[in-house]
Structure 1
Amino acid sequence: MDKNEILFRCITFVLNAFIIRTVGQDVLGIMNVRLLLLESTILFLSKEPLLKACLTNAKSHNWAQIIIETIYIVCRTVTFVYLVVNHPNEAINAFSIAQIVSAVLLCALYYGFFTWYIPRLIKHREQEDKDENEKMVPLFSDMSDFPFRSVLNFFPGFMFNEDEKIDSNLLVLTISFLKQSVIKQVLTEGERYVMTISPVLTFSQQSIYDIVNNLGSLAARFIFRPIEESAYFYFTQMIHRDQPLKKQNEKNVAEAAKVLGQLCKVVTSIGLIGVVFGQSYSYSLLYFYGGKKLVSTALPTTLLQFHCFAIVLLAINGVTEAYVFATMNNNQLDKYNYLMVIFSICFLLISYVLTNVFGPVGFILANCSNMGARIIHSLHFIHTKYLDTVYRPLDGLIPTWKFLSVLVFSGICTKYSELYFLPHSMLLHIGFGAFFFLLTMITWMLENRSLLELGYANYKRRVSLKTD
């Protein structure tokens, strides 16, 4: 996740809390589910496959792009907040106006940048042709295939095309990326599509689910995703895709198995802690986030409590899939892509059915089913891969009885606190939970001293390398 996306997520998170307290849940449901889904779908269809096909690194950003998109986000937020504060009954119109104003500003900034940039790029190229020792400016690097000579070339009919109207190679690549992007879009926004189609959920229920989903996803975005990305990179360096483990470097195989087992242990422990304490502190978290208006019914608390179970599955799935993607050969990856299509279709169907039966909780149950199916596939792949070896990295998914005992004891005590302390003093309830959280963490650390020592040694090594 890049810095711009983190900024956007943080602003959206704070903005949602403001909307709940100022406007209400129905309005938030219309904006965050219906209108943002429309925006997401249009942007996905218009740019996602083309961006991936035309760029070698779709995640790369230069300083100009970061600045422009930051200005865009700030403009949209400030405009919306200003209009809502002054006209609280016109929140939908305020949202629409903020989107239009910020979109116009975004276009103006990009066109302004390229009006400034293109003449300087042309001048830099001319100086490079005259002097081969001309110092390369980072802003102008890797721009040899940039064909535009004027900002007018961006508009249809202003640029003479000597080649074919459509590049057949790029067309095939774009269609390929479109297929992948459709799967990604369904998995990312599938719940919102089902909400839009299903007549069961009210706008208020849709907004509550969206709020809870965003809160529950914080752990995935800021804790589990960095672990997944680092794990994927590590396993690609240690394990060869096209060779059985017996034919690979034994030291690398042993180290990779040990790391996989430790990662499984860490994410499972984090997930279980979230489940146990989430059952007793969901109400408190939602109260601090959205105020009394958000927790006026039992639905938000129930949704967050169920979402805690989904977080455990999300954590396990992230690490196991990171290993699977890093070690699968091309044929296995192709088969898995087809399997993902089946998972996506099943997820949408199950979401629709369970939502009609259980309401918003059905979405979380559908997510759990989807994650469970993917985990089973990953576990089967890993188990088969290590079947002929002495290594059993999946044992890391099984917590120790001491840790489980402390978790169960903490869960019972914090639930008692919620029933008897929370109605009188939320501060006392939080203090009670902090004590048992500390007890749980101490138990886990005592049982995993070697893992902590290894982590601390790696941290010291990184610090010393940076210092040198």
Structure 2
Amino acid sequence: MVCVAHIDAEAIPTYLSNVFQITYRVFTFITNAVILRYITSDVLGIINVRLALLYSTDTFVSVEAFRRAALGVTESSTWRQAINLVWLSVPVSAAVSAALAGLWLHALSQPAPEVTSEYRLGVWVTAAMVVLETAAQPLVILAQAMLFVKLKVVADMVTLCSRVALKAWLIALYPSHAIWAYCVGHAVSSALLVVIYYGTLLWHVRSPDNCLPVKSASELGPRLVPGQPVSAAGGRVLHDLLRAMSLLCLVAVTFGWSYSHLLLRLYGGALLTAGPAVSLLRAQCAYVLLLAVNGVLECYTFAVMRQEQINGYNRKMVLLSVIFVISTGIFTRLFGGVGLILANCVNMLTRIYVCYRFVAGLPLEPAVSVPPLLGLRPPPAVAAALELQDIQKSGIRSFRDIHVDESNILIWQGLIVPESPPYNKGAFRIEINFPAEYPFKPPKVVFKTKIYHPNIDERGQVCLPIISAENWKPATKTDQVIQALVALVNDPEPEHALRADLAEEYSKDKKKFMKSAEDFTKKNSEKRPAD
């Protein structure tokens, strides 16, 4: 059940959510840089790694399964069961929080003695705040399902910004009690979250234009009742999202790996670059790529799964959790802090594999001409640009003077410079056209310069086995194609001839062929580039 008038009113500020997310991350980035001037990197690591990891793990384990199940409800008649289900997350959260807090305090290595007492406080406060926020989850999920976009944006903005700002302010005042400052900021923001959602939805239920699937405030709580739908998503949307996320994250990986040291130097000075922070940031860049791909794939997977498929997926998640725990133990022993990120990468890879197998088995939608999972591969223009860079760096002497069409990077021109007679008297311009399906379809090579060759016809078409439809492999690189082409020019293959007369001449009277080819080359070829 969704109120159309409400959607029209709330859908307008959807873009504000994206603006806020970016602004919040910039704000957090700046405040962390300020905080680093007041506390050590060890204390900041406890706050931003240990306690933040406890919070995210606790929230995920306690709430995520209930949230996914409740958001699958599309009929107002089943909202009572959904609300009851989400309320079960509160006792589950209390049990999980207590267990994880004990794990953080007794199983993991403890911090330095000077911060141990505050660290214990931080662990228990974080666990308690997860339970408090879980108590608001029935209303959070209801608001999300009813498209209360403006409420979500405001609630996130107020709670997250207040948490960061209050933490930074208190740390600046009391730098020796940084974890205590974190606890205060977290407690205030969690309380604000509960107040905002309860206050707003209780007011909305009592208003005349209420369009929620509940008619009184009492129906927001769990109640006894006597007694599943799946939505579809467009394959084209999945393809485009995978393509966009892959490209954005590949940019982050490329520059993040190369400039991690410089970024950390500018951000926190020698304090950060002296330790393992550079390696951690580089590993995190790779993890972000996997995290983004997994997020898109899992959203699509849960949108199209039937109930029995979701149950099967949940059973697989138990196995994946075991793999994650084992990999965490192994990698942290081998690589320390970087090992924790590597274990998360393994976790993301296994989840991506499960979702990939499921999506690959779905029938292709009639309106979609390209399989959605192809969005994971770089588009032809990106692949061509990367290969062009590799060729230019390698400095292939037999392929020179490369020009690329400014309006279309999928069209290249360059000079083939043979080394063997009779073609070593000149150079030959070729054009390489990459199809839209590249690398799944081979590029097309055409000679723009006339050449006296049995494997190249008068129109410049080439009989090159490596780019034939039956021999082409997506893993084949353009430099391999060029090397095969140069080898063909230097050593003709009459058995694959396009010009039967020249093939016969080459086979029966090679001396005559060589003389004719040399004369033709001197007359029609381009000037060889200077070495």
Whole-Å Cα distance in 2 between the matches of residues 342 and 304 of structure 1? 29
TM-score of the pair, normalised by structure 2: 0.46
Could you tell me which amino acid in structure 1 is paired with residue 256 of structure 2?
Answer: G
Could you tell me which amino acid in structure 1 is paired with residue 272 of structure 2?
Answer: L
Whole-Å Cα distance in 1 between the matches of residues 164 and 365 of structure 2? 56
What is the identity percentage for the equivalent residue pairs of Structure 1 and Structure 2? 29
What corresponds to 2:387 in structure 1? Answer: 405
What corresponds to 1:286 in structure 2? Answer: 264
What corresponds to 1:427 in structure 2? Answer: none
What corresponds to 2:305 in structure 1? Answer: 328
What corresponds to 1:350 in structure 2? Answer: 327
Task: Measure how far apart 1:351 and its partner are.
Answer: 1.3
Q: Secondary structure at the match of 2:142?
A: coil
Task: Measure how far apart 1:327 and its partner are.
Answer: 2.8
Task: Measure how far apart 1:335 and its partner are.
Answer: 0.8
Greater fraction helix:
1
Structure scoring higher RCO (CA < 8 A, sep ≥ 6) equals 1
Could you tell me which amino acid in structure 2 is paired with residue 331 of structure 1?
Answer: E
- Residues 153-185 of structure 1 show CA distances to partners (whole Å, capped at 9, x for unaligned) of x9xxxxxxxxxx973459x99xxxxxxxxxxxx
What corresponds to 1:145 in structure 2? Answer: 215
- C-alpha contact (below 8 Å) 1:286/1:301 kept by paired residues: yes
Whole-Å Cα distance in 2 between the matches of residues 444 and 375 of structure 1? 30
What corresponds to 2:32 in structure 1? Answer: 16
- C-alpha contact (below 8 Å) 1:261/1:393 kept by paired residues: yes
- C-alpha contact (below 8 Å) 1:276/1:407 kept by paired residues: no
Could you tell me which amino acid in structure 1 is paired with residue 260 of structure 2?
Answer: S
What corresponds to 2:80 in structure 1? Answer: none
Whole-Å Cα distance in 1 between the matches of residues 314 and 213 of structure 2? 34
What corresponds to 1:92 in structure 2? Answer: 179
Structure 2 residues not aligned, in runs of 5+: 1-13, 55-122, 395-404, 413-432, 438-531
Task: Measure how far apart 1:316 and its partner are.
Answer: 3.4
Task: Measure how far apart 1:300 and its partner are.
Answer: 1.6
Whole-Å Cα distance in 2 between the matches of residues 95 and 270 of structure 1? 32
Could you tell me which amino acid in structure 2 is paired with residue 279 of structure 1?
Answer: W
Q: Secondary structure at the match of 1:21?
A: coil
What corresponds to 2:223 in structure 1? Answer: 167
Task: Measure how far apart 1:279 and its partner are.
Answer: 2.4
Could you tell me which amino acid in structure 2 is paired with residue 19 of structure 1?
Answer: I
What corresponds to 1:219 in structure 2? Answer: none
- Residues 311-348 of structure 1 show CA distances to partners (whole Å, capped at 9, x for unaligned) of 33334333433443333222222211221232223212
Task: Measure how far apart 1:362 and its partner are.
Answer: 1.0
Task: Measure how far apart 1:449 and its partner are.
Answer: 11
Greater fraction strand:
2
2:137 pairs with one of 51, 63, 71: 51
Could you tell me which amino acid in structure 2 is paired with residue 293 of structure 1?
Answer: L
- C-alpha contact (below 8 Å) 2:280/2:338 kept by paired residues: yes
Structure 1 residues not aligned, in runs of 5+: 125-135, 149-153, 155-164, 174-231, 239-255, 413-438, 452-468
Q: Does residue 377 in structure 1 map to residue 354 in structure 2?
A: yes
Could you say which structure has the larger radius of gyration? Answer: 2
Whole-Å Cα distance in 2 between the matches of residues 331 and 307 of structure 1? 35
- Residues 345-369 of structure 1 show CA distances to partners (whole Å, capped at 9, x for unaligned) of 3212211221111111112221221
Q: 1:411 to 1:106 in 2, by over 3 A?
A: farther
- C-alpha contact (below 8 Å) 1:76/1:102 kept by paired residues: yes
Residue range with higher mean Cα deviation, 89-98 or 356-365? 89-98
Could you tell me which amino acid in structure 2 is paired with residue 81 of structure 1?
Answer: A
Task: Measure how far apart 1:259 and its partner are.
Answer: 5.5
Whole-Å Cα distance in 1 between the matches of residues 306 and 167 of structure 2? 48
Q: What is the root-mean-square deviation in Å for CA atoms of aligned residues?
A: 5.1
1:68-83 matches, within 5 Å, as 70=157, 73=160, 75-83=162-170
- Residues 407-452 of structure 1 show CA distances to partners (whole Å, capped at 9, x for unaligned) of 657999xxxxxxxxxxxxxxxxxxxxxxxxxx9999599999989x
TM-score of the pair, normalised by structure 1: 0.52
Q: 1:444 to 1:99 in 2, by over 3 A?
A: farther
